[in-house]
Amino acid sequence: MNTLDTTLHAGEHGHHGPAKGIGRWLFTTNHKDIGTLYLWFSLLMFFTGGCMALMIRAELFQPGLQLVEPGFFNQMTTMHGLIMVFGAVMPAFVGLANWMVPMMIGAPDMALPRMNNWSFWILPFAFAMMISTLFMDGGAPNFGWTFYAPLSTTYAPPSVTYFIFAIHMMGISSIMGAINIIATILNLRVPGMTMMKLPLFCWTWLITAFLLIAVMPVLAGVVTMMLMDIHFGTSFFNAAGGGDPVLFQHVFWFFGHPEVYIMILPAFGIISQIIPTFARKRLFGYASMVYATASIAILSFLVWAHHMFTVGIPLAGELFFMFATMLIAVPTGVKVFNWVATMFRGSMTFETPMLFALAFVVLFTIGGFSGLMLAIAPVDFQYHDTYFVVAHFHYVLVPGAVFAIMAGAYYWLPKWTGHMLDERMGKLHFWLSFIGVNITFFPMHFIGLAGMPRRIPDYALQFADFNMVASIGAFIFGLSQLVFLWNVIACVRGGEKAAARSWEGAEGLEWEVPSPAPYHTFATPPKLPESQR
C-alpha cells in the first residue's frame, strides 16, 4: 500500500485544501473541482434540454396543434439538439475526464490547470448567450441542430448571429479541454505506465481529444462562413450569388460525423472500465480494443457523406461512402464481442453501474444495427430524415452515451463523495430509465418506417398510436431522471462509508487512493499496482 502512504504523506506537508466560498469555484485550478463543475453544469443542461424534449413530445402526443406554434416547435427541436449535444453529453465526458484521468495515470493534476479553469468557465457564458435567443425578436435558432444553409443564413431569424458566437465559444472550450487531456495523458503518466498499460478510459479519451482538435476548427469555419454570408455579403452558401448550399453540408458533416464519435468513444472507455470490475475478470482483448478505437476514429473522417445520400452526389461517391460506413461496423463489432467475451466465464454481480453498462451494450448495439441499415444507401432513401433516424440516434445517444455517463457517475461516485450509493434507489433509477427509454424510442422505428418525417409538429393519423406511446415513455424517462438527481445528492450528503477500493473487482490507481479522494492526490508519483505492472 505504498501509494496510499505517499498520498497521505503529501497531504500532511501543508498542502492547502480548497479555498472558501464562491472563489473556490471561480478561480479553481484543481482538476477535481473543475470536474465537479463540468458535471453539475452538464446535469443542468441535461434537464434543460430534457424539458425541451418533453415539450416536443407533449405537442406530438396527439395529431393536431395543441400546445405550441410550428415556429416555436422548430426552436425547441433545435435548442434541444444543441443543448444535449454541446451542453449535456460533451461537458459530462470532459468532467469525467477531469476527475478520473489524473487519478488513473497517477498524475497530481491536469497538465494545464489554468487553461482548465478557462475551458470550463467559457461554457456558462456560451450557453447563457444561446438560451437568451429564445427571448429575442424572431425567436431562437429554428433550423435544426444541423443548421443547413440557406435556412440558417438567408432565411434565419436575427438571433443566428448570437448562435454563431455561442458555437465559437463552445468550440474554444472543447479545443482547450482536448489539448489539456492530450498533454496530461502524454506527459504525466506515472513511471512504468506505458501507453499499452493506459486504462481504456484514458485511451478512448486521448483519441477523442485528437478528434476534437481536428474537427472543432471545421465547425468554427463553417459558422464563420455563415457569419460572412449573413453580414458581409459573401455567397459561400447562397446559390443566387454563385455559392453552393451543398458545400455547407459537406463542411458541416466533416465535423458532424467525427462529432458523433466524440460522443461515443469516451462512453466505450467507461464501459470498458466497468464491465471487467463487475465480471471480476480482465478485459478480454485490451490491445484489440485500443486498435478498434483508433480505427473507428480514423474511419470517422471518411464517412461524412452518409448523412447526404439524398443530396444527389454521384454514384461513385455514393458507393464510396456506403462501403466506408459499413466498414465501421467491423471495429464496432470487435468492441461488443470483447465486452461479451469479458463477461463470459466471469463472476458477475449486478450493482447499479453494471446494470447501466449491460443496458448500454444491448441498446447501443441495437442503435448500431439501425446504423448499419442506414448505411445502405438505396434503403437510406426511405429512412433518411424520418423518425427511423430519430430512433437510431437516440438509441446510440441516450442508452448509449447518456447511460454510459450515468454508469460512470454511479461507478465513481463513491470515490468522489466517500459514500456508497443506496443500491435500492440506484436500481429504481435504472429500471425506470431502461423501461422509459425503450417505450420512448422503440416505437419511433415503426413510425419512421411507416413514413413519418422528423422535425414536424403535427402528423397524419396513421402515426397517432405510436406517437402517443412514445410521448408516454418520454415522460416516464424524463421524470425518472429526478431519481438520478436525488441519488447524486443523497450520495454527496451521506451514506455507507466507501472503502478506497469501493468495488470488489475494481483495479487501477484511482482505487488506491482513499474515498473520498483527497483534494490533492499523487503529489509524488505512486508505484503501479501489481495488476498493472
Minimum CB distance to ligand HEM smaller for 107 or for 170: 170
Which three cell numbers, joined as nine digits, stand for 408?
A: 460512470
Q: With CB under 5 A, what is the number of residues at the site for Cu ion?
A: 1
Which residues, other chains included, contact 51 with Cβ-Cβ below 8 Å and sequence gap of 6+? Answer: 478
Q: Please identify which of the residues 173, 300, 325, 521 carries the catalytic annotation.
A: 173
Query: Contact between 469 and other proteins (CB under 8 A)?
Result: yes
Query: Contact between 320 and other proteins (CB under 8 A)?
Result: no
Q: Is 427 a catalytic residue?
A: no
Q: Which of residues 15-74 bind other proteins (CB under 8 A)?
A: 62-66, 70-71, 74
Query: Contact between 474 and ligand HEM (CB under 6 A)?
Result: yes
The torsion region of residue 139 among left (phi > 0), alpha (psi -120 to 50) and beta comes to left
Q: Is 332 a catalytic residue?
A: yes
DSSP 382-405: HHTTBHHHHHHHHHHIIIIIIHHH
Measured CA angle at 332 (ends 330, 337), to 5 deg: 95
Q: Is 132 a catalytic residue?
A: no
Query: Contact between 272 and other proteins (CB under 8 A)?
Result: no
Query: Contact between 196 and other proteins (CB under 8 A)?
Result: no
Query: Contact between 440 and ligand HEM (CB under 6 A)?
Result: yes
Q: Is 174 a catalytic residue?
A: yes
Minimum CB distance to Cu ion smaller for 304 or for 503: 304
**Paired strand residues for 497:** 419
Q: Which of residues 398-417 bind ligand HEM (CB under 6 A)?
A: 398, 401-402
Partner interacting with residue 358 (select from ligand HEM, Cu ion, other proteins, none; CB below 5-8 Å by kind):
other proteins
Which residues, other chains included, contact 333 with Cβ-Cβ below 8 Å and sequence gap of 6+? Answer: none
Query: Contact between 382 and other proteins (CB under 8 A)?
Result: yes
Q: Please identify which of the residues 189, 281, 335, 415 carries the catalytic annotation.
A: 335
Query: Contact between 466 and ligand HEM (CB under 6 A)?
Result: no
Q: Please identify which of the residues 38, 77, 99, 109 carries the catalytic annotation.
A: 109
Q: Which of residues 137-156 bind other proteins (CB under 8 A)?
A: 137-139, 142-144, 148, 150-151, 154-155
Rule CB under 8 A: choose which of 17, 23, 158, 494 binds other proteins. Answer: 158
Q: Is 15 a catalytic residue?
A: no
Shortest reach from residue 315's CB to other proteins, in Å: 5
Q: Which of residues 48-67 bind Cu ion (CB under 5 A)?
A: none
Query: Contact between 32 and Cu ion (CB under 5 A)?
Result: no
Rule CB under 8 A: choose which of 17, 26, 192, 350 binds other proteins. Answer: 350
Query: Contact between 384 and Cu ion (CB under 5 A)?
Result: no
AA identity, residue 312: G
Contact 328, 241 (CB under 8 A): no
Query: Contact between 348 and other proteins (CB under 8 A)?
Result: yes
What distance in Å separates the CA atoms of residue 484 and residue 428, rounded to the nearest whole number? Answer: 9
What distance in Å separates the CA atoms of residue 292 and residue 212, rounded to the nearest whole number? Answer: 18
Partner interacting with residue 106 (select from other proteins, Cu ion, ligand HEM, none; CB below 5-8 Å by kind):
none
CA distances 520 to 34, 99, 108, 118, Å, are 13, 11, 7, 20
Rule CB under 6 A: choose which of 106, 478, 505, 508 binds ligand HEM. Answer: 478
Which three cell numbers, joined as nine digits, stand for 258?
A: 467525427
Which three cell numbers, joined as nine digits, stand for 115?
A: 487553461
What distance in Å separates the CA atoms of residue 222 and residue 429, rounded to the nearest whole number? Answer: 40
Shortest reach from residue 157's CB to other proteins, in Å: 6
Residue 374's Cβ-side half-sphere holds a number of Cα atoms within 13 Å equal to: 28
Query: Contact between 81 and ligand HEM (CB under 6 A)?
Result: yes
Contact 387, 56 (CB under 8 A): no
Query: Contact between 455 and ligand HEM (CB under 6 A)?
Result: yes
What distance in Å separates the CA atoms of residue 260 and residue 146, rounded to the nearest whole number? Answer: 12
Minimum CB distance to ligand HEM smaller for 277 or for 440: 440
Query: Contact between 85 and ligand HEM (CB under 6 A)?
Result: yes
Shortest reach from residue 36's CB to Cu ion, in Å: 32
Whether the bond between 70 and the residue before it is cis, its omega within 30 degrees of 0, is no
Minimum CB distance to other proteins smaller for 3 or for 480: 480
Q: Please identify which of the residues 168, 307, 429, 520 carries the catalytic annotation.
A: 307
Partner interacting with residue 461 (select from ligand HEM, other proteins, Cu ion, none; CB below 5-8 Å by kind):
other proteins
Which three cell numbers, joined as nine digits, stand for 456?
A: 414536424
The alpha carbon of 21 is separated from its chain's Cα centroid by a whole number of angstroms, namely: 30
The torsion region of residue 64 among left (phi > 0), alpha (psi -120 to 50) and beta comes to left
Contact 100, 517 (CB under 8 A): no
Task: With CA atoms as reference, report the closest residue to 109 among 52, 29, 212.
Answer: 29
Task: With CA atoms as reference, report the closest residue to 189 among 291, 107, 282.
Answer: 107
Shortest reach from residue 224's CB to other proteins, in Å: 20
Which segments of 232-303 does DSSP mark as H helices, in order? 245-262, 265-279, 286-299
Query: Contact between 264 and ligand HEM (CB under 6 A)?
Result: no
Rule CB under 8 A: choose which of 439, 444, 506, 528 binds other proteins. Answer: 439
Q: What backbone torsions phi and psi does residue 512 show, to the nearest 5 degrees?
A: -90, -25
Residues lying near ligand HEM in the complex (CB under 6 A) are found at: 50, 53, 56-57, 77-78, 80-81, 84-85, 88-89, 144-146, 390, 394, 397-398, 401-402, 440, 454-455, 474, 477-478
Catalytic residues: 80, 109, 145, 173-174, 257, 259, 261, 272, 306-307, 332, 335, 454
